[in-house]
A and B are shown apart, each in its own frame.
Chain A
Amino acid sequence: QKEVEQNSGPLSVPEGAIASLNCTYSDRVSQSFFWYRQYSGKSPELIMSIYSNGDKEDGRFTAQLNKASQYVSLLIRDSQPSDSATYLCAVGLGGGADGLTFGKGTHLIIQP
């Protein structure tokens, strides 16, 4: 049974600060990791993908992967009110072997 765990929140962060979102996964052979953002009533949209251990930066977003600890994180620098949303962590085994397994998401609130 593949599981992806996230703290449901809400996580409240002041505007301009760094928001840190965490995710753990159970299947050790997982190879592909994604962060999606979902606004209320909308569909999930891809923010970051990461496949190798270490950090990957894209603008204000940094994804971090530690396969030994089975841990993925997302940092959002200079948080803006528009970053307020639910952030979903998704994990895949690779090669389309199955669909992505999603965590239930962390509700992030950026306080102006």
Chain B
Amino acid sequence: DAGVIQSPRHEVTEMGQEVTLRCKPISGHDYLFWYRQTMMRGLELLIYFNNNVPIDDSGMPEDRFSAKMPNASFSTLKIQPSEPRDSAVYFCASSFVPGPLSSPLHFGNGTRLTVT
């Protein structure tokens, strides 16, 4: 299994530019999550999807952030316009939930975003 695949691994951009992060979940997983990790705030859930449908986006910090999942094998997280405080590592994770209990998340390698 290839695992969760994220691209790019590193992104450096200037303030005001649009940034698009990409994720391919593990095949067969019906949940996809976007997390952001910083030293100050740790891992924060931004949004998650179930069967390609956004379920909870309450963690998205501002309207500048948007996420889509057009099909079961692809999701994007877009920041427009980007700001220096968006600098963080963004993780995509997926899981399969066969029953009433939460299943562990499988994380991608992350995208390290630096906004100057």
Contact = CB atoms under 8 A, between A and B. Distances in A.
Interface of A: 31-32, 34, 42-46, 49, 51, 88, 90, 92-105
Contact of A96 (B42, B50, B107): B50
Contacts of B100: 31, 94-95
A43 B91 contact: yes
Interface residues of B, number: 25
A96 B95 contact: yes
A15 B91 CA distance: 32
Given A43-B110, A96-B50, A34 B43 contact: no
B85 to A, nearest CB: 18
B101 A31 contact: yes
B76 interface: no
A103 B42 CA distance: 7
A101 B107 contact: no
